[in-house]
């Protein structure tokens, strides 16, 4: 019987067309009847919308109506008597409405809907270098193959054309409207005329899809490129160079979005090199961009410069709070969701409580630097929703996501990592969407609408982030990763030649008495940076949520927790649970064989085996190490 079943599985699986994931969630059915599309406006954007509908919409007629009375980008889908009307304030809204209609078709049926984006800025941050390597990229090399872009003639290779088109379709389908092309650890060369002409080719290709191009800049660019002798933001030759550079960029790219800046952080140059403030630096760039309506996204991820020795998680507030109100009005402060660095779980970053007069945007990390990279199935939407439960989406002006995209066929490495790109876009449009709803629609579009598959894999996705926290660093442990690559566990990590903030032992502070970082008023006082009631809640051992316990407190090994077990016992419970969850995912995936094409099924099965091995390694290494202090 078992043998027969396996044969049946094999038969069904091989009948399902093998896929490489390159179509992402845009795997529209092939039986479109060539809908009639009527539009009251014409543009390259409308041509794309019309083409998508003709090829993929299975209804009879769609009307695209531009109504300038409506807000830009917003749209409504209305259906009556078999006819669908999409109404929007501009052509991009009509394109978004088109993709919404196709999504509805693939996920349960066309229905009326009216929607507007929560934020005007919904931006991917690529950490792509000009040599095609991708910092924290786990899906091959950069998709921006600069050699294959001819800036003089405004053309791209065949591969680039196809890749860029699919990139734009994917982003437009989830409402992403901006792309920072290069790494925040930026090469000054991106601002040379040669590169800018190539950037223009990309910007031209992105434009009809409503995607603006932004660039990360190196603060010392004018000096490194040999045009000035200093990069001091208050030096007039420097300011003049940036103004001329902005003029040049806007000549080429009239809708250029602006600059993203990492300054005086992790070795990057910045205004601090000249004893100037971040506001001095940001405002000088803002003045250059202002006549063109460009913006500066200035990162608050700054540590180790002016506040050496201070608890790293406190340094952003210490640095930027005194500058609040001193930034030009086209500067936005961009901060990571947590105060440390994209850990599997962090409390929210208190900078969002402390900055009142400067517009802020959140930076989320889609690439799984600290969450198993492209080898672990970890769905990140629940983590981002957790952040929104502390930091009101109303407070923000925009959302940035560090992209997980590379040049591999499947875009993101792990087939399920595509879900994180998708979820980022959906939440940037509407942070009120539930993680479940997003997982559900992504699964239906990416794999199949079969109920048994959606239910089983929806549950796996929803529990996967908590499982990852459990097998890596439960109960508020953080940054106990191996040096540099941040993949496996290294709780004993210490290197005298490295800044102490890069060493795991700095973060867990395990000793014979206990474990955890005392950040209460008895320790570094980081809890004081939070608004009430969190400041008070986190400060007390009795009220601190257990998921943040060792983030805020140094706790005795035999401390009795809410379930009556000791801290040490609970650590074991969490690590074991993380491992058994991944083992369960492997079993669930075995049952999914009939629903997935053989190529993607095998790929995920192999990855889950790796994830299980890794989870066991994390548990064993961490329990052995901490057990040696706990005397267990
Ligand atoms: C782009 C962490 C990462 C770095 C990254 C940095 C940042 O330190 O490990 O790769 O650099 O954050 O966000 O600037």
Q: What is the pLDDT of residues 437-465, one digit of tens each?
A: 999 999 999 999 999 999 999 999 999 99
Q: Is 336 in the pocket of ligand 1 (CB under 6 A)?
A: no
The whole-number average pLDDT for the span 195-210 is 98
The verdict on the CB of residue 127 being under 6 Å from ligand 1 is yes
**Set 106, 319, 341, 581: catalytic member:** 341
Best residue for ligand 1 mutational test, from 126, 133, 136, 304 (most atoms within 8 Å of Cβ):
136
Q: What is the pLDDT of residue 82?
A: 81
Closest by Cα among 152, 157, 145 to 196: 152
- Token pair in block for residue 415: 């087939």
Q: Which among 106, 369, 501, 581 is annotated as catalytic?
A: 369
User: What stretches of 197-338 adopt beta strand conformation (E)?
Assistant: 212-217, 258-261, 295-299, 331-336
Calculate Rg over the CA atoms of the chain: 25
Question: CA 468, CA 474: separation in Å to the nearest integer?
Answer: 9
Q: Are strands 178-180 and 121-125 parallel, antiparallel or unpaired?
A: parallel
**Overall average pLDDT of the 125-130 stretch:** 98
What mean pLDDT do residues 355-372 have? 98
Long-range contact list for 437-443, CB < 8 A, 24+ apart?
438/381, 439/379, 439/381, 440/107, 441/103, 441/107, 442/25, 442/418, 443/419
Task: Please identify, by atom number, the ligand 1 atom nearest to the C-alpha of residue 183.
Answer: 1
- Over the chain, what is the mean pLDDT? 96
Distance in Å, CA 91 to ligand 1 centroid:
36
**Ligand 1 centre distance from Cα of residue 342 (Å):** 9
Nearest CA to ligand 1 atom 12: 341
pLDDT 10s digits, 502-513 = 999 999 999 999
pLDDT confidence bin for 30, thresholds 50/70/90: low
Cβ(25) – ligand 1 distance below 6 Å? no
Active site residue 341: yes
Name the residue of 138, 341, 507 to mutate for ligand 1: max ligand atoms within 8 A of Cβ: 341
487 lines ligand 1 (CB under 6 A): no
Cα(629)–Cα(618) distance, rounded to whole angstroms? 17
Mean pLDDT of 358-382: 98
Q: What percent of the chain has pLDDT over 90?
A: 93
Q: Is the peptide bond before 533 cis (omega within 30 degrees of 0)?
A: yes
Is the pLDDT at 8 greater than 80? The verdict is no
Distance CA 616, CA 614 (A): 5
For the cut 60, the answer to whether the pLDDT of residue 308 exceeds it is yes
Helix axis angle, 91-106 to 435-446, nearest 10°? 80
Say whether 369 is catalytic: yes
DSSP E strand stretches across 103-193 = 113-115, 121-125, 149-150, 155-156, 178-180
Is residue 1 very low, low, confident or very high in pLDDT (cuts 50, 70, 90)? very low
CB-side neighbour CA atoms (13 Å) of 54 = 10
User: pLDDT, tens digit, for every residue of 276-292?
Assistant: 999 999 999 999 999 99
Cβ contact 373:487 at 8 Å: yes
> Which of 133, 261, 266 maximizes ligand 1 atoms within 8 Å of its Cβ, making it the mutation to test the pocket?
266
At 419 the pLDDT is 98
Three-class DSSP category at 425: helix
256 C-beta closer than 6 A to ligand 1: no
134 CA distance to ligand 1 middle (Å):
12
Q: Is 370 in the pocket of ligand 1 (CB under 6 A)?
A: no
Mean pLDDT on 534-562:
98
Q: Does the beta carbon of 262 sit less than 6 angstroms from any atom of ligand 1?
A: yes
E-strand ranges in 538-612 read 555-556
pLDDT at 64: 98
* C-alpha 557 to ligand 1 mean position (Å): 33
The confidence score (pLDDT) of residue 32 equals 62
Cα of 523 to ligand 1 centre, how many Å?
27
User: d(Cα 39, Cα 368) in Å, to the nearest integer?
Assistant: 41
Residue found by looking up tokens 């932004």 in the block: 214
Q: Is 266 a catalytic residue?
A: yes
Question: Please, are residues 404 and 421 in contact by the beta-carbon 8 Å criterion?
Answer: yes
| Closest atom, ligand 1, to C-alpha of 185 | 1
pLDDT surpassing 90 at residue 425: yes
For 526, which DSSP code? G
Considering the candidates 67, 266, 324, 617, report the single residue annotated as catalytic: 266
Whether the predicted pLDDT of 6 surpasses 60: no
> What local confidence, expressed as pLDDT, does residue 3 receive?
53
> Which residues face 63 on adjacent strands?
38, 85
pLDDT band at 16 (very low <50, low <70, confident <90, very high): low
Predicted pLDDT at 305: 84
Q: What contacts 584, CB < 8 A, 6 or more positions away?
A: none
Task: Kindly give the distance from the C-alpha atom of residue 314 to the centroid of ligand 1, in angstroms, as a whole number.
Answer: 17
Q: Which residues of 389-421 are buried (b: 16+ CB within 10 A; e: fewer)?
A: ebbebeebbbbbbbbbbbbbebbbbbbbbbbbb
């Amino acid at each position: 019987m078992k043998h027969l079943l396996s044969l049946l599985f094999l038969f069904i699986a091989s009948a399902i067309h093998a896929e490489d994931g390159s179509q992402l969630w845009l795997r529209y059915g092939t039986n479109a009847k060539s809908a009639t599309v009527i539009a009251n406006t014409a543009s390259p954007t409308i041509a794309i919308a019309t083409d998508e509908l003709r090829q993929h919409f299975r209804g009879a007629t769609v009307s695209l109506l531009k109504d300038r009375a409506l807000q830009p980008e917003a749209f409504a889908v209305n259906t009556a008597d078999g006819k669908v009307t999409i109404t929007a304030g501009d052509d991009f809204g009509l394109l978004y409405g088109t993709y919404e209609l196709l999504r509805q078709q693939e996920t349960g049926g066309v229905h009326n809907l009216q929607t507007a984006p929560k934020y005007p800025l919904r931006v991917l941050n690529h950490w792509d270098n000009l040599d095609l390597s991708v910092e924290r990229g786990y899906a091959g090399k950069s998709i921006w193959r600069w050699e294959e872009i001819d800036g003089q003639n405004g053309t791209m290779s065949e591969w680039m054309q196809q890749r860029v088109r699919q990139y734009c379709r994917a982003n437009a389908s989830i409402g992403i409207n901006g792309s920072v092309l290069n790494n925040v650890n930026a090469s000054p060369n991106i601002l040379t005329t040669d590169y800018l002409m190539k950037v223009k080719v990309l910007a031209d290709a992105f434009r009809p899809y409503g995607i603006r191009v932004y660039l990360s800049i190196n603060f010392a660019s004018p000096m490194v490129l040999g045009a000035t002798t200093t990069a001091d933001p208050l030096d007039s030759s420097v300011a003049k160079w940036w103004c001329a550079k902005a003029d040049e960029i806007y000549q080429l790219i009239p809708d250029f979005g602006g600059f993203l800046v990492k300054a005086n952080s992790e070795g990057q140059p910045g205004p601090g090199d000249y004893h100037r403030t971040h506001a001095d630096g940001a405002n000088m760039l803002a003045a250059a961009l202002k006549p063109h309506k460009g913006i500066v996204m200035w990162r608050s991820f700054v540590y180790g410069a002016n506040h050496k020795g201070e608890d790293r998680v406190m340094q952003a507030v210490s640095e930027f709070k005194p500058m609040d109100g001193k930034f030009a009005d086209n500067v936005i402060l961009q901060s990571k969701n947590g105060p440390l660095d994209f850990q599997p779980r962090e409390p929210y970053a208190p900078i969002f409580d402390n900055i009142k007069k400067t517009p802020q945007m959140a930076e989320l990390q889609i690439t799984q630097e600290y969450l198993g990279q492209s080898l672990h199935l970890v769905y990140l939407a629940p983590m981002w929703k957790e952040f929104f439960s502390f930091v009101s989406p109303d407070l923000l002006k925009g959302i940035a996501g560090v992209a997980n995209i590379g040049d591999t066929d499947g875009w993101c490495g792990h087939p399920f990592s595509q879900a994180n790109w998708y979820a980022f876009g959906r939440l940037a449009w509407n942070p009120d969407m539930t993680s479940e709803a997003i997982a559900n629609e992504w699964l239906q579009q990416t794999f199949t609408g079969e109920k048994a598959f959606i239910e089983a894999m929806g549950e796996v996705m929803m529990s996967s982030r908590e499982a990852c926290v459990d097998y890596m660093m439960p109960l508020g442990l953080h940054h106990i990763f191996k040096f540099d690559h941040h993949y496996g566990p290294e709780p004993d990590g210490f290197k005298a030649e490295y800044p102490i903030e890069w060493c795991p032992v700095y973060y867990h502070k395990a000793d014979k008495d206990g474990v955890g970082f005392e950040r209460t008023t008895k320790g570094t006082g980081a809890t004081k940076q939070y608004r009430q009631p969190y400041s008070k809640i986190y400060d007390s051992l009795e009220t601190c949520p257990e998921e943040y316990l060792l983030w805020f407190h140094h706790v005795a090994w035999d401390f009795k927790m809410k379930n009556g077990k000791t801290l040490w016992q609970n650590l074991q419970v969490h690590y074991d649970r993380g491992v058994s969850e991944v083992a369960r995912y492997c079993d669930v995936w075995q049952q999914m064989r009939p629903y997935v094409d053989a190529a993607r099924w095998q790929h995920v099965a192999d990855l889950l085996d790796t994830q299980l091995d890794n989870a066991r390694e994390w548990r064993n290494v961490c329990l052995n190490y901490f057990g040696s202090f706990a005397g267990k």
